[in-house]
Chain A
């Protein structure tokens, strides 16, 4: 069957020819390690430069090379940048998955594919574009190894022709990507140009999807959440970073290293104002971070679920001995090794109550890169103000995917180093009791090791202690200390970032979520209103403990749907732990735990089902 014959079959299969502008998804199916990431990012960036709202999601295997990987790009003129489940435009480069990828498409989708795969024989209700990529790449790169990498760039040229992506933007994006490697840039640019010219001559446009320049991205940037958090740490004055590699958090520590080496070398001495240590395991990375926090550093570690489990005992010590430390947990799907390259909100409960005995830890939960940047700063302040471990919970979707974001605002608020008594303070007050609640907020005063004063020292321990930090097994010492720690947690509540609340007049239904659920929820609320005439209010918590406003929010609605990206409704459980008196008959749960970024349709469908509609 020729291309044109396929096209006419597809056209007749579609009820009527319509045009879809700036509102579709592209999926590129390749083999992991084949260098497709460059071609995908150039596509993403070109669309971004054309002012069209866009998002990119990398669905990759836990593997370095050889297994299938998919990259999804969504353009949306209304600004929805959450995941869209349906694929409108497939680029099938991977022979292993091509058939299944094609069979999964909705009728009317378009397929660009490597000609030898003969995918057009599979269905007659799609728009097929066979491309002889191997033929096209031969004259471009004589070296077979290079040829393999450049081959991916060819689909960028074809898509530029088919979708109307401006070649000038492809060029701009490419040279930005390869800013330090002009030769590679040139090679790829030649490939993109060659395939664009070939497509212009040989591939008539038959599908309805295309892009059109907009002006929605003024003042915006494209960045991964991990990189945003890393930058936040550098501007928050982090001094000690101890970490252990684990997907999906490694790039946070690695990016932090890059930014720190760039911006945190002391201009006077040329030496580092930070220490970054890759530890031997998570037991050591948290141990070092706690030791550093104890001795006065702004210290942190980065990890994911399995690391959180390993860090449990140390975090309990940090809570009980009252040591500032920040933990970045980029959540992936658990339990156990789970799905290392899939996203989840599965660590909410374990992080909030990590370690044995009664413990509670503040969590900051960013939804966007700019929140990840801001919250990194807030986390260090909170940890030192409260003298306790503070978690920043990202997830793989936020951390490892590229997001459009507002530019970050420079933090003007001075660093808050908390209640630290210096030698001069001790000269004035005479002595101090490490765990005494002097100010009534549950937060005691501390001294740093090395303070040159005979009364500065105290003994830090995870065992029972008196306000003067001496060993005690007394019942009253123990309970008073535990009660003070609870008081401190209430102080934490007053310092948490405020929730985002959208109260809609006449809405009987409220939606509650956190983190990356935000993007699905924003879109789902519009779907509910547009398609079902259901008005909803929205409450997005930016952390734990919750604000007391959650009580008012629940009271103001008949039913409140709490959306979780985990099986057990952990956000819901955490709400009830924090506010046990919330009326349980009002609280409903929408849970998704398949490991893909949450999409609006999943939320909408489930809510409609539970509403009995």
Chain B
């Protein structure tokens, strides 16, 4: 479909080459799924013509959290503390809600130490893209299990995981997140569409990207290896994305009813071409049960599970003046002397 935005020329709508959207050289292992995700981020931001200076790249600690140094070199980045990127990102957006926040985290960073902050980020619907680079293990400390590791999966050393995994997508939907998707680092087309949809969403857009750890979690006992994921994944739908500046036309002329079009906040469209009959991405209950069903059947469901565009974002609820707080002049920040006199009089 023509949902892809890729301009065939060398420059995007801002007149910039894709090279300008790259970052420092990656220090992750060769073949790491995270590097593929970084590539998709670079492509998406370039293709969408995003002004990098208005982007903040937020991360916690871990392999995934290192990756913001490897893309969008003209964006401010913040590699914060383990599991607590959501609070830092929330604070930055309180200071300046015009910034576009991209959070990159891992399964350890989110589902273990950071589960509390994850929960409250989703609940608040803080406007940001939140990508979990999910490899089911702690890569940076040499491969220990994370809380998204599947029950029965093994470490290289043979140790078996005997705890149920946390499904971050089901959890996010339950908590009130307004854009929830899962994809696979090896699926270039789907991941691109899902990320672009997330970028156009105003609210928390949470994407769990299965991203095999080539060093510690890409062996036969792992359920997050390339081979396992390729064999077990089941796409909920084909995901297409049309940015607001392109007209929608569908290349293979599908039957009416087969394609659901979701209009995002900036006028972009997500096109969900159904494989599953009657799947409605606005149905929260259905989305959660769909995830549970797939998990029971041993399938790894991918696609956009849930989108809600009417819920106010956390910043909407704060009734903030239009000038970002970070740029508010002193004349707006310090009340006049009469105000202090008034209080002093009351307390006298």
Interface, chain A (partner B; CB < 8 A): 219-223, 231, 234-237, 239-240, 242, 259, 263-264, 266, 269, 271-275, 277, 279-281, 283-299, 313-314, 317, 407-408, 410-411, 414-415, 447-454, 456-463, 470-471
Which residues in A have their C-beta under 8 angstroms from that of B344?
221, 407-408
Which residues in A have their C-beta under 8 angstroms from that of B324?
296, 450
| Contact indicator A275/B54 (Cβ below 8 Å) | no
Residues of B in contact, count (CB < 8 Å)? 59
| Contact indicator A280/B92 (Cβ below 8 Å) | no
| Contact indicator B328/A461 (Cβ below 8 Å) | no
A231 to B117, CA, bound (A): 30
| Contact indicator B326/A239 (Cβ below 8 Å) | yes
| Contact indicator A272/B95 (Cβ below 8 Å) | no
Known: A221-B348, A292-B92. A239 touches B81 (CB 8 A): no
Query: From B343, which residue of chain A is reached at the shortest CB distance?
Result: A231
| Contact indicator B330/A415 (Cβ below 8 Å) | yes
Which residues in A have their C-beta under 8 angstroms from that of B320?
271-272, 275
Interface, chain B (partner A; CB < 8 A): 24, 51-54, 56, 58, 68-69, 73-81, 84, 86-96, 98-99, 116-117, 119-120, 318-322, 324-328, 330, 332-335, 337, 339-341, 343-344, 347-348
| Contact indicator B91/A295 (Cβ below 8 Å) | yes
- 28 A-B pairs with C-beta separation under 8 A: A220-B348, A231-B343, A240-B91, A272-B318, A275-B94, A280-B116, A284-B84, A287-B80, A287-B86, A291-B93, A292-B91, A294-B88, A295-B91, A295-B326, A297-B91, A297-B94, A297-B95, A297-B96, A297-B325, A298-B333, A407-B344, A449-B56, A450-B54, A450-B56, A457-B52, A459-B69, A459-B77, A461-B79
Query: From B57, which residue of chain A is reached at the shortest CB distance?
Result: A459
For A235, give its contact among B73, B120, B340, B348 (CB under 8 Å).
Answer: B340
Known: A275-B318, A279-B87, A313-B81. A296 touches B332 (CB 8 A): no
Query: From B87, which residue of chain A is reached at the shortest CB distance?
Result: A287
| Contact indicator A271/B76 (Cβ below 8 Å) | no
| Contact indicator A460/B78 (Cβ below 8 Å) | yes
| Contact indicator B117/A283 (Cβ below 8 Å) | yes
Which residues in A have their C-beta under 8 angstroms from that of B321?
266, 269, 271-273
Known: A235-B335, A317-B80, A462-B79. A451 touches B91 (CB 8 A): no
A-B pairs with lowest CB-CB distance, top 10? A291-B91, A287-B87, A296-B326, A237-B333, A288-B91, A297-B95, A291-B88, A295-B95, A221-B347, A449-B76
Which residues in A have their C-beta under 8 angstroms from that of B51?
452
A407 to B56, CA, bound (A): 43
For B77, give its contact among A237, A285, A456, A457 (CB under 8 Å).
Answer: A457
Which residues in A have their C-beta under 8 angstroms from that of B341?
410
Known contacts A273-B332, A287-B86, A299-B91; 17 additional CB pairs below 8 A are: A221-B344, A223-B347, A239-B326, A239-B333, A240-B95, A266-B332, A273-B333, A275-B318, A286-B87, A293-B91, A295-B95, A296-B324, A297-B91, A314-B84, A450-B324, A457-B77, A458-B76
| Contact indicator A281/B340 (Cβ below 8 Å) | no
For B81, give its contact among A269, A317, A448, A459 (CB under 8 Å).
Answer: A317
| Contact indicator A410/B337 (Cβ below 8 Å) | yes
For A271, give its contact among B58, B90, B319 (CB under 8 Å).
Answer: B319
For A415, give its contact among B52, B75, B119, B334 (CB under 8 Å).
Answer: B334
Known: A237-B330, A411-B334. A263 touches B339 (CB 8 A): yes
